[in-house]
Amino acid sequence: MLPAASLSCLQSTNINIHPTAPSLSSSLSSSSYQPSSSSSLHNRRLVSFTTIIHGNTPLTPTTTTKPKGHSHTVICASTNEPLKVMISGAPASGKGTQCELIVQKFGLLHISTGDLLRAEVSAGTEIGNKAKEFMNAGQLVPDEIVTAMVTARLSREDAKEKGWLLDGYPRSFAQAQSLEKLKIRPDVYVVLEVPDVILIDRCVGRRLDPVTRKIYHVKSFPPETEEIKARLVTRPDDTEEKVKSRLEIYKQNAKAISSTYSNIMKKIDGNRQKDMVFKDIESLLSQTQNDNMKSMELAGKLVLDSDNRSNLPSSSKDNWIGIPTRLNNIPHSREIRNYFYYDVLQATQGAVNDGRSRLKVEINIPELNPEMDVYRIGTLMELVRVIALSFADDGKVVKVCVQGSMGEGALAGMPLQLAGTRKILEFMDWGDYGAKDTFIKIGSIGGKEVEEQDDLFILVAPQNAVGNCIIDDLRAMTEAAGKRPVILINPKLKDLPGSSGVMQTMGRDKRLEYAASFESCYFFRLLYYMGTQYPIMGALRMTYPYGCELYKRVDGPSGKEKYVILSTFPKRPNIDEINDAFEGKPRDQAKKASGFWAFLSGVF
């Protein structure tokens, strides 16, 4: 069962509609962004924008809020993973109109580059003066100006807390890539589709209320009162000629941008009544929000024991949430399994994002140890699925491979633990979105399996069967994969005796050297007395990019077990170092792999 803190966090992701609550939407809209007319403040801002691009302290530009006059408000309780949405479409496709409705319903922070730029223009700032000539000509404002504004806004706390709705950005491939480099990605990329002829009519008839920022149309959405009508303004770029130029620029860029978000892109027919358009967007975003919640559940954010966290090395404090207890009781609960899946996922994602390409994951809790019980292979498959789907979510084509039958004639066969694994993978539920066969492919280990479109390879428990060495197939595969990442999950690549009982000696050194060339990005192992499986004495954990952490399992005064950290090591410690840490000896003291704690040697 999830602890109370964790449960309440999951439950709080529900959206509560409060039709009578006072409007909060003003504080949720980016049209609230107000540039300062002071040029000295403005100069400071330009400098800071540049700083943000280089990843330093985020800037907090001066902002005020403007009432939007919405009749009801939705309070979106805070979630750990608030929605992140991009909305795109040709000029006048209805982005601004739909954003108003999305903000009302989902409480996201609306960041519209058009609105931010227009605010700079009307405040007469340096950015505004630069942007004005481009905007009035119906052209794009230079990337560096817009990117700086957007990244500054996204880096603020409210964007992280409420989630965001990015409107009108990115508008070029370079802008999309700027966000990718900063690892800023939406959950969903909405594209509104409207025929050209309608777009021109919408632009020419558009009017804005400078007080409420509400968007009207002379024919389809006329203002409610004469007073409002009298103050409406027309955008200088809303002439037919300029709209055509904007439309052309949009079309030139649209394809390149959508290639960045192809796996999360949802096209919506925007040539319908605005409420009907919103209905589709609303259900799409609600679905995305539910999916986010499910992933959070999957991540099984177990907050186990705050005492543990205080002892942790600072490198681990950010993401690490404590070793689950009662690990000898199998089958493990779903929460425990999820804890490990999430732990492994973070490490592999981090390593791949940092450009590491030869990786191995070694996780040896009882539930994931098919040596103890071949049925445990199902849990291993579940781990593989979590990792594969997560990379597929990032738009990567993932090939999941199991070694096929090796050897010839009477010696043909595969390791017992892998029997039937490929079938399990084929029949597994790979989600509702048709990920399998598009983003997830199942294959065998070997050079011939590597195809041009594959982005990443996950190899399930590759191992040497008696007399048959997997390393040649493995090497052929990694050579064909080139720089693309190859992740080995629980590999066993040590030489085994052949069927004759004799070790294969030809090329042995090279094989072992090759096996060692995979970098460990995750390692978890329970520690026991030598030759026993009870009680658990401690655990060793290493997760990319950090060093190795050694834990001791202790029973608290109430009898509740917990893991306390004993020591950290830059690399995996040897038996002596582990024994010394358990005995409380300082690091440089003479090592002796004997005595009471020598039992630990059994784990290696």
Query: Of 52, 86, 92, 565, which lies in the binding site for ligand AP5, with binding defined by CB under 6 A?
Result: 92
- State the nearest-atom distance from the C-beta of 235 to ligand AP5, in Å: 7
The dihedrals phi and psi of 149, each to the nearest 5 degrees, come to -65, -45
Residue number with CB closer to ligand AP5 (135 or 299)? 135
The Cα–Cα gap between 327 and 526 comes to 9
The Cα–Cα gap between 145 and 134 comes to 12
171: annotated active-site residue:
yes
154 binds ligand AP5 (CB under 6 A): no
Total residues in contact with ligand AP5, by rule CB under 6 A: 37
Q: CA dihedral defined by 190, 196, 198, 200, rounded to 10 degrees?
A: 110
525: annotated active-site residue:
no
Provide long-range contacts, Cβ within 8 A and 24+ apart, for 301-304: 301/6, 301/9, 301/80, 301/342, 302/2, 302/3, 302/6, 302/335, 302/336, 302/338, 302/339, 303/3, 303/5, 303/6, 304/3, 304/562
Map residue 443 onto helix, strand or coil.
strand
Query: Of 206, 301, 396, 511, which lies in the binding site for ligand AP5, with binding defined by CB under 6 A?
Result: 206
| Nearest residue to ligand AP5, scored by beta-carbon proximity | 114
Token representation of residue 530? 């030598």
Can you tell me which residue has the tokens 């939007």?
A: 68
134 binds ligand AP5 (CB under 6 A): yes
Q: Is 138 exposed, middle or buried (0-12, 13-18, 19+ CB in 10 A)?
A: buried
206: annotated active-site residue:
yes
141 binds ligand AP5 (CB under 6 A): yes
Choosing from 235, 244, 272, 492, the catalytic residue is 235
376: annotated active-site residue:
no
Map residue 173 onto helix, strand or coil.
helix
Residue number with CB closer to ligand AP5 (134 or 529)? 134
Residue 352 Cα distances to 162, 456, 485, 508, angstroms = 29, 9, 7, 29
Stretch that binds ligand AP5, among 71-79, 167-175, 176-184, 256-264 (CB under 6 A): 167-175
Residues 460-519 that bind ligand AP5 (CB under 6 A): none
CB 340 within 8 A of CB 366: no
Q: What number of residues does the chain have?
A: 604
Residue 141 Cα distances to 128, 303, 386, angstroms = 10, 46, 41
Residue number with CB closer to ligand AP5 (80 or 136)? 136
Token representation of residue 576? 């002596």
89 binds ligand AP5 (CB under 6 A): yes
- State the nearest-atom distance from the C-beta of 284 to ligand AP5, in Å: 16
91 binds ligand AP5 (CB under 6 A): yes
Q: Which helix (H) or strand (E) holds 149?
A: helix 143-154
Widest pairwise Cα distance in the chain: 97
The Cα–Cα gap between 376 and 382 comes to 10
110 binds ligand AP5 (CB under 6 A): no
Query: Of 2, 135, 536, 581, which lies in the binding site for ligand AP5, with binding defined by CB under 6 A?
Result: 135
The Cα–Cα gap between 92 and 201 comes to 9
Residue number with CB closer to ligand AP5 (172 or 464)? 172
358: annotated active-site residue:
no
Residue number with CB closer to ligand AP5 (135 or 392)? 135
93 binds ligand AP5 (CB under 6 A): yes
Choosing from 132, 162, 202, 206, the catalytic residue is 206
| Residue 480 CB neighbour total at 10 angstroms | 17
Token representation of residue 86? 């991009």
Can you tell me which residue has the tokens 């079938």?
A: 423
The Cα–Cα gap between 262 and 285 comes to 17
**Is the bond preceding residue 415 a cis peptide, omega within 30 degrees?**
no
β-sheet bridge partners, residue 167:
87, 112
Residue number with CB closer to ligand AP5 (61 or 94)? 94
Choosing from 45, 68, 84, 95, the catalytic residue is 95
- State the nearest-atom distance from the C-beta of 510 to ligand AP5, in Å: 53
Stretch that binds ligand AP5, among 3-11, 57-65, 95-103, 575-583 (CB under 6 A): 95-103
Q: Where are the beta strands (DSSP E) in 286-381?
A: 358-364
CB 135 within 8 A of CB 91: no
Query: Of 42, 68, 214, 246, which lies in the binding site for ligand AP5, with binding defined by CB under 6 A?
Result: 246
- State the nearest-atom distance from the C-beta of 53 to ligand AP5, in Å: 15
428 binds ligand AP5 (CB under 6 A): no
96 binds ligand AP5 (CB under 6 A): yes
Query: Of 229, 244, 274, 279, which lies in the binding site for ligand AP5, with binding defined by CB under 6 A?
Result: 274
217 binds ligand AP5 (CB under 6 A): yes
- State the nearest-atom distance from the C-beta of 163 to ligand AP5, in Å: 20
- State the nearest-atom distance from the C-beta of 433 to ligand AP5, in Å: 27
Residues 173-202 that bind ligand AP5 (CB under 6 A): 175, 202
x/- track of binding to ligand AP5 for residues 336-375 (CB under 6 A): ----------------------------------------
Choosing from 105, 246, 360, 385, the catalytic residue is 246
Residue number with CB closer to ligand AP5 (114 or 300)? 114
Identity of the amino acid at 542: M
Query: Of 13, 32, 79, 113, which lies in the binding site for ligand AP5, with binding defined by CB under 6 A?
Result: 113
Residue number with CB closer to ligand AP5 (117 or 458)? 117
Query: Of 49, 169, 342, 544, which lies in the binding site for ligand AP5, with binding defined by CB under 6 A?
Result: 169
Token representation of residue 221? 């959405």
Q: Where are the beta strands (DSSP E) in 503-604?
A: 519-528, 536-543, 548-555, 561-569
- State the nearest-atom distance from the C-beta of 275 to ligand AP5, in Å: 8
Residue number with CB closer to ligand AP5 (123 or 476)? 123
The Cα–Cα gap between 428 and 432 comes to 12
Residue number with CB closer to ligand AP5 (86 or 487)? 86
Residues noted as catalytic: 95, 171, 206, 235, 246
Residue ranges binding ligand AP5 (CB under 6 A) = 89, 91-97, 113-114, 117, 134-135, 138-141, 146, 168-169, 171, 175, 202-203, 205-206, 215-217, 220-221, 237, 246, 270, 273-274, 277
